[in-house]
Amino acid sequence: MPTPLPTITPKHLYPIADDCTADNAYQWINQGAHLLWSGDYHNGIQLLSALKRRTDKKRKQQSGPINAEAFHRYRMFQSQKASLLNRLLIKVGPEYALDLKRAPDLRGACEAAFGELSNETLIPLRMVQGALSAYAWQNKGVHIPALPEPIHVRYGVFSPVRGEYLNLIQTAKLPANTQCAFDIGTGSGVIAAILAQRGVPEVIATDTSEDAIICAAENFARLKLQHAIRLVQADLFPPQPALADLIVCNPPWIPARPTSPIEAAVYDPGNEMLERFLSQVTQHLNPNGQVWLVMSNLAELIQLRPPDFIPYLAEKLGLRVIERLDTKPGHAKSKNTNDPLYEARAREVTSLWKLTPSAGATAKL
């Protein structure tokens, strides 16, 4: 389902237009005011960019080594930055009609993101920009070398734009005589699609999100894999008695609290989802089955998890490591020296952990 628009009822709403300077606008939003933009649309986008630069400059003055405390400060700064930038508003009418010079058509992007609109409302320009960008990516799709067609991702569903781990899924040796595989937390469906494309006869993909289930179904249809993959809306595993020879999971990598629905694909407070998955997974495996767990070590590098946490947790929960395949991220943030997490991202490794049940072991928390 689309994410509902926030209800904005500003105490102080100042109309501004093309003659407003970025310095004045920055001062006003820091004083708690909301600004209603009535000038040229593209000039409004330029003003938003100028406000971003001013907030980021403040962050650079607070830079230092990255550890758990610094990471939480960084996330707090990001939240405060979003709150500030969301004070630059535009007024839209029914069906997201926008009466600004050089304004784009917002209807398709905003309905995909926020649902239909039948009344006049205020909306942050930053949210509109995000919806337009997401809609453009949804229409264009993300190229995946292992698949014949791009993966198209709906607003609010995690996108495989950093896909270094997908090459591990594509090239890792499958368990002998794999007849059935589960993709747990399928999102866009990209991992399930790769498994089916590799010839696994039966793939079951699960997710708790209705949007993810719809998104994955659309991608499977485009790839003509809808008959090879069964979608189940479930929390982790499909209902028993289904058992698998291979269970793949790419869980959230960072043990911190998400601040929005889309962040739930990245942040897992207290490793709760990871521990639930590993504590239950052996109940859903056939004899000699394997678990493929895809994880980054970023949380270890910023001291949110101890080193060797994955093999320790696996052993504790009745699993043993049989192989680990590594790759280095190639996404833009890993090369951006201005990124506050650059020091950690430059050393980040993404791993596919192959696990199998320990002989005679029982999972316990």
Q: Which structural domains are found in the chain, ordered by start?
A: 13-138 (no CATH), 142-357 (3.40.50.150)
What pTM does this model have?
0.90
* Distance (Å, whole) CA 144 – CA 140: 12
Quick one: which of 244, 250, 274 has its CA closest to 175? 244
Q: Please state, as a whole number, how many other Cβ atoms lie within 10 Å of the Cβ of residue 32.
A: 11
In the numeric block, the tokens 């020091």 are attached to 343
* Distance (Å, whole) CA 181 – CA 201: 8
Per-residue b or e along 277-312, where b marks 16 or more CB atoms closer than 10 Å to that residue's CB: bbbebbebbbeebbbbbbbbbbbbbbebbeeebbee
* Distance (Å, whole) CA 195 – CA 180: 10
Per-residue pLDDT tens digits for 237-289: 999 788 999 999 999 999 998 887 778 889 999 999 999 999 999 999 999 99
Which runs of E-coded beta strand occur in the chain?
13-16, 34-37, 88-92, 121-124, 180-184, 202-207, 229-233, 244-249, 285-296, 319-327, 350-357
**Cis peptide bond N-terminal to 241, omega within 30:** yes
* Distance (Å, whole) CA 2 – CA 115: 5
Q: How much of the chain, in percent, has pLDDT values that exceed 90?
A: 78
Per-residue pLDDT tens digits for 49-83: 999 999 988 766 555 667 888 888 889 998 999 99
The single-letter DSSP state of residue 357 is: E
Which runs of E-coded beta strand occur in 114-228?
121-124, 180-184, 202-207
Quick one: which of 253, 230, 235 has its CA closest to 310? 253
**What is the reported pLDDT for 8?**
85
* Distance (Å, whole) CA 316 – CA 313: 5
**What is the reported pLDDT for 362?**
42
Evaluate if residue 365 carries a pLDDT over 50. Answer: no
Q: Please state, as a whole number, how many other Cβ atoms lie within 10 Å of the Cβ of residue 232.
A: 15
Per-residue pLDDT tens digits for 95-111: 999 999 999 999 999 99
Structure tokens at 105: 């058509």
- Segment 21-34 shows an average pLDDT of 97
Are 267 and 258 in contact by the 8 Å Cβ rule? The answer is: yes
- Segment 113-137 shows an average pLDDT of 95
Q: Which residues partner with 202 through β-bridges?
A: 180
Average pLDDT, the chain: 92
The band of 363, judged by pLDDT with boundaries at 50, 70 and 90, is very low
Are 315 and 358 in contact by the 8 Å Cβ rule? The answer is: yes
Q: Which residues partner with 230 through β-bridges?
A: 204
Per-residue pLDDT tens digits for 30-48: 999 999 999 999 999 999 9
Per-residue pLDDT tens digits for 175-193: 999 999 999 999 999 999 9
DSSP per-residue letters across 264-326: GGTB-GGGHHHHHHHHHGGGGEEEEEEEEEEEESHHHHTTSS-TTHHHHHHHHTTEEEEEEEE
Integer CA distances (angstroms), 227 to 151, 193, 236, in order: 17, 11, 22
**What is the reported pLDDT for 9?**
85
Structure tokens at 338: 């201005």
- Greater model confidence, 164 or 199: 199
**What is the reported pLDDT for 61?**
55
Are 355 and 314 in contact by the 8 Å Cβ rule? The answer is: yes
Structure tokens at 248: 């793949």
